[in-house]
Amino acid sequence: MSEAKSLLSSVFGFSDFRPGQEEIVEAVTRGENTLAIMPTGGGKSLCFQLPALCREGVTLVISPLIALMRDQVRGLREAGVEAGALTSANTEAERDEVFEALEAGRTKLLYMAPERLAAGGTIGMLRRIGVSMIAVDEAHCVSQWGHDFRPDYLAIGRLRETLDVPLAAFTATADEETREEIVQRLFAGQAPRLFLGGFDRPNIHLAFAPKNGPRKQILTYASARKGQSGIVYCSSRAKTEDIAAALRAEGHAACHYHGAMDADDRREVERRFSQEDGLIVTATVAFGMGVDKPDIRWVAHADLPKSIESYYQEIGRAGRDGAPAETLTLYGPDDIRLRRTQIDEGLAPAERKGADHGRLNALLGLAEALGCRRQKLLAYFGEDAAPCGNCDLCDRPPETFDATTPVRMALSAILRTDEWFGAGHLIDIVMGNATDKVRARGHDGLPTFGVGKEYTKPQWQAVFRQMMGHDLVRPDPERHGALRMTENARPILRGEAGITLRRDVIRAAQSARPAVRAMVNEEDAPLLSALKAKRRALAEALRAPAYVVFTDRTLVEMAEKRPTTLDQMAGIGGVGATKLERYGAAFLEIITGGAPDPVHPMRRKMAGRSAGAVFDRLHEAQTDLARGTDGTEKPMSCTNSTLKWIAERRPATLDELERAPGMSAPKVERFGPAFLEVLAEG
């Protein structure tokens, strides 16, 4: 693994692997068939990009979206790696450039959409260029019942067998059922080496709130985070347009995105979001898998997602750089009704519908949780965790009450009206509101009429919503959304079990305005802004996303550590050798307020490495002895190339020193002892 660790530092600018990465990189480099389930933002891409540099031949990367591929190729090229993408968006010149690099043997990673595998001549081309490994990003797309199913992914397993090369598959969201499907379809049922990484994203703050004027709630949330990149997920196309317009009216940079938009318009939104700082996109789930922007600082859901997996994947767009990020999910009875109906009216078989209801129940349980949300979320994925201190319920524990009595009142009203009515009518019954509808049906004569007068209408609405969230009642699509009792409710109705609910969560949601988590302290904030402005200017000149230059996390580390030399700059996470060469001096000038001292290109290549410090001491020793020990001899010096060779290889004897290029016998005689003394010091 020494080569991989060296490349991790010199190419990608990281001193250490993230948790779980090293073992995966080792297995993929060895050519083992691999399936890695890693959290979004956990560094999946590095787990196939780094092995590609360590292995002979070309690594074929199959990825679902063009925008995602183009951004990864840009990022690799900025890091000094030869990579290319063959997509339908290539211009003729771009396609020719990719093929020329492939034929010349320079390319290490070739990105391709799964749809291209069916094109004539593709298999022959992949054989000719020497594909030695296949990496599959977003491998859950092979799952036929998944929400991101891509039929063309089904051809990947055959491609692996045809080329007879190892395959590494990666995804962030795959439950046991999906994992089995991936193994069957990509690995022909032969179990690959499985890496099941942790699902925790500790940098993401989790929060839910009941809907109470959701449009205003989203606007308030966004205004507290003005200038930060964010996504607002909506359940309808019309809502994406409405909220985007409202955000713009409040002075935000915002645009909408949904599947009915023209393809060129969608690409323009993708381009703007990747390149602009502080842009908000309001979107349906069509804006999802291809979002690889690492500095998204917040994700809000204007409507409840359709499952806990969808929720996890969508909030996972935030904070991929590891810096603090926030989420807010709004939900209400109408959301629950919509999601239940979508499942019930779908085309899936009965057992699949049951599983989908279970996934929705898990999300509703998270929404109505009484304790740490992260504990509950991770428990769904089979992980134990302590209270996180980074969710709304850890910030402010909810006030709860024994709700057994009002829940039994509500269930009794449902049964006594033969499960034919919705929450509004049922609330009128238990509150004793003799409306025309209640009187017309004789419901003012029921034993349950008026039994719940001690509770207000908002409190009853909260009770009914939480009953739906706990899956005690479900809307029946065949009865126009009337509430029907589930088996879960019967023990409560019979007095065999009790239930605890949150008290007046709507009022709490109105008063609680989540604090914005600053990326740096107040003292470093002006410098961070200046660094971002420099990054934006460089990215615009490249016509590339800002994070291709440096991520937010890298700039935050610069602002906090304030390096003053190239050696110190090389120690910042994310500053590899190529980026140091291209951008190091420009960012040092922002930090120090002046142009850094000129550095010879040979020395610049060693910045941040121990050989660099040795090179400097060798140079000092040579300067001291340039005219001999007494200062009267003929001037003599070694080239920077010679000093670099010595600093990197560290010869231990005069004979070994004489093997250095350009190191003649007279130079060994004059400088040798001093050089060996420097090398002995390390």
Query: What's the CATH code of the domain at 446?
Result: 1.10.10.10
Close Cβ partners of 599 (under 8 Å, ≥ 6 residues apart): 566, 607
Long-range contacts of 259-267, Cβ-Cβ distance < 8 Å, separation of 24 or more: 259/284, 259/286, 267/67, 267/89
Residue 248 near residue 280, CB atoms below 8 Å:
no
Length of the chain: 682
Structure tokens at 328: 């807010």
Instruction: Give the alpha-carbon dihedral of 230, 233, 236, 239, to 10 degrees.
Output: -40
Q: How many angstroms from the chain centroid is the CA of residue 555?
A: 18
Does 494 fall in a domain? Answer: yes
Domain boundary residue among 442, 474, 503?
503
472-480, Cβ contacts within 8 angstroms, sequence gap of 24 or more: 472/407, 472/411, 472/499, 473/410, 473/411, 473/414, 474/340, 475/336, 475/337, 475/340, 475/341, 475/422, 476/419, 477/340, 477/341, 477/344, 477/345, 479/419, 479/420, 480/422
* Side-chain-facing half-sphere of 672: CA atoms under 13 Å: 18
505: pLDDT strictly greater than 60 = no
pLDDT of 514 strictly over 60: no
Contacts 24+ apart (CB under 8 A), 518-524: 519/297, 519/323, 519/324, 519/552, 519/556, 520/556, 520/559, 520/560, 524/559, 524/560
70 and 179 in a single domain? The answer is: yes
What integer pLDDT is reported at residue 384 of this predicted model? 87
Cα-based distances in Å from 267 to 72, 104, 262: 16, 32, 9
pLDDT, residue 297, reads: 92
Q: Which residues pair with 232 in a beta bridge?
A: 282, 300
Cβ-based neighbour number of residue 399 at 10 Å: 10
Please say whether the beta carbons of 646 and 639 come within 8 A. no
Distances (CA, A) of 390 to 173, 199, 260, 423, 599: 22, 15, 37, 34, 45
Is residue 45 domain-shared with residue 166, that is, in the same domain?
yes
Checking if the pLDDT of 613 tops 90, the result is no
Same domain, residue pair 374 and 259: yes
pLDDT averaged over the chain? 87
127 and 148 share one domain: yes
Q: How far from each other are the two terminal CA atoms of the chain, in whole angstroms? A: 24
* 96 C-beta neighbours (distance < 10 Å), count: 11
Over residues 408-436, the mean pLDDT reads 93
Is the pLDDT assigned to residue 147 strictly greater than 60? no
Pairing of strands 58-62, 109-112: parallel
Six token digits for residue 314: 């969508």
Of 611 and 497, the structure prediction assigns the larger pLDDT to 497
Give the model's confidence band at 515: pLDDT under 50 very low, under 70 low, under 90 confident, else very high.
low
Instruction: Please give the pLDDT value at position 1.
Output: 59
**Average pLDDT value for residue range 319-328:** 89
Q: Name the DSSP class of 206.
A: B
Read off the CATH number of the domain in which 636 is found. 1.10.150.80
Q: Give the pLDDT mean for 454-465.
A: 89
On whether residue 527 sits in a domain, the answer given is: no
Cα separation values, 426 from 12, 481, 529, Å: 61, 13, 55
Same domain flag for 224 and 132: no
Transcribe 38-59 into DSSP letters.
--TTS-TTHHHHHHHHHSSSEE
pLDDT digits (tens, 9 = 90+) for 428-439: 999 999 999 999
Question: Residue 509 has what pLDDT?
Answer: 39
- Has residue 626 got a pLDDT over 70? yes
Average pLDDT of span 496-503: 91
Same domain, yes or no: 375 and 425? no
Does residue 6 surpass a pLDDT of 80? yes
**Under DSSP, is residue 250 helix (H, G, I), strand (E, B) or coil?**
coil
Does 158 lie in the same domain as 24?
yes
Kindly report the CATH number assigned to the domain that includes residue 319: 3.40.50.300
Q: Do residues 62 and 188 both lie within one domain?
A: yes
Residues 353 and 130: their CA atoms lie apart, in Å, by 45
Work out the pLDDT band at 290, boundaries 50, 70, 90. low
For residues 32 and 320, the model is more confident at: 32
Q: Please tell me the predicted confidence (pLDDT) of residue 88.
A: 79
Burial 226-249 (b: 16+ CB within 10 A, else e): eebbbbbbbbebebbbbbbebbee
At residue 493's C-alpha, the angle toward residues 492 and 495, to 5°, is 65
Tell me, yes or no, whether 562 lies in a domain: no
- 307 and 423 inside one domain: no
Is 90 exceeded by the pLDDT of residue 381? no
Residue 338 included in any domain: no
The candidate with the shortest Cα–Cα distance to 280, out of 330, 219, 322, is 219
The whole-number average pLDDT for the span 489-515 is 71
Question: Is the pLDDT at 504 greater than 60, yes or no?
Answer: no
What is the C-alpha separation between 589 and 583, in angstroms, rounded? Answer: 10
Residue whose C-alpha is closest to residue 111's, from 81, 91, 85: 85
pLDDT digits (tens, 9 = 90+) for 96-134: 999 999 988 999 999 998 888 878 788 999 999 999 999
Q: What are phi and psi of 641, to 5 degrees?
A: -65, -40
Phi first, then psi, for residue 61 (nearest 5°) are -110, 120
Residues 317/253, Cβ–Cβ less than 8 Å: no
Residues 56 and 182 grouped into a single domain: yes
Does the pLDDT of residue 516 top 70, yes or no? Answer: no
pLDDT at 508 over 80: no
Q: State the Cα–Cα distance between residues 466 and 368, nearest whole angstrom.
A: 7
Question: Is residue 546 situated within a structural domain?
Answer: no
Residue 305 in any domain: the answer is yes
Residue 647 lies in a domain: yes
Q: Name residue 26's amino acid.
A: E
66 and 209 inside one domain: no
Quick one: the chain helix, strand, coil %, rounded to 5?
A: 50, 10, 40
pLDDT at 513 (0 to 100): 47
pLDDT at 426 over 80: yes
Boundary-marking domain end, from 487, 503, 519: 503
Per-residue pLDDT at 629: 83
Domain of 131, in residue numbers: 2-196
Please tell me the distance from the alpha carbon of residue 371 to that of residue 513, in angstroms, as a whole number. 19
Per the DSSP assignment, residues forming a β-bridge with 204 are 325
Of 126, 125, 132, give the one whose Cα is nearest residue 168.
132
Residue-wise pLDDT tens digits, 52-70? 999 999 999 998 877 778 8
- Residue 11 · residue 49 · CB < 8 Å: no
How many beta carbons lie within 10 A of that of residue 192, not counting itself? Answer: 19
| Average pLDDT estimate for 347-363 | 84
| Least confident stretch, 24-38, 552-566, 593-607 | 593-607
Residue with tokens 């007068």: 453
Q: Which residues contact 385 (CB under 8 A, 6 or more apart)?
A: 200, 372, 374, 375, 378, 379
- Give me the amino acid identity at 180: E
Query: Is the domain of 183 the same as that of 215?
Result: no
Out of 455, 487, 503, pick the residue that ends a domain: 503
Q: Which range (257-271, 281-295, 477-491) has the least confidence?
A: 281-295
What SS3 class is residue 445?
helix
Q: What's the total number of domains in the chain?
A: 4
Q: How far apart are CA 333 and CA 461, in angstroms?
A: 9
Inter-helix orientation angle 46-54/21-30, to 10°: 40
* pLDDT score of 518: 64
Residue with tokens 């991520």: 551
pTM greater than 0.85 (yes/no):
no
- Sign of the Cα pseudo-torsion (199, 573, 520, 222, in order): negative
Instruction: Output the pLDDT for position 547.
Output: 85
- Confirm whether 581 is domain-assigned: no
Q: Quick one: pLDDT band at residue 382, thresholds 50, 70, 90? A: confident
DSSP 8-state code for residue 499: -
Q: Which residue has tokens 């065999």?
A: 496
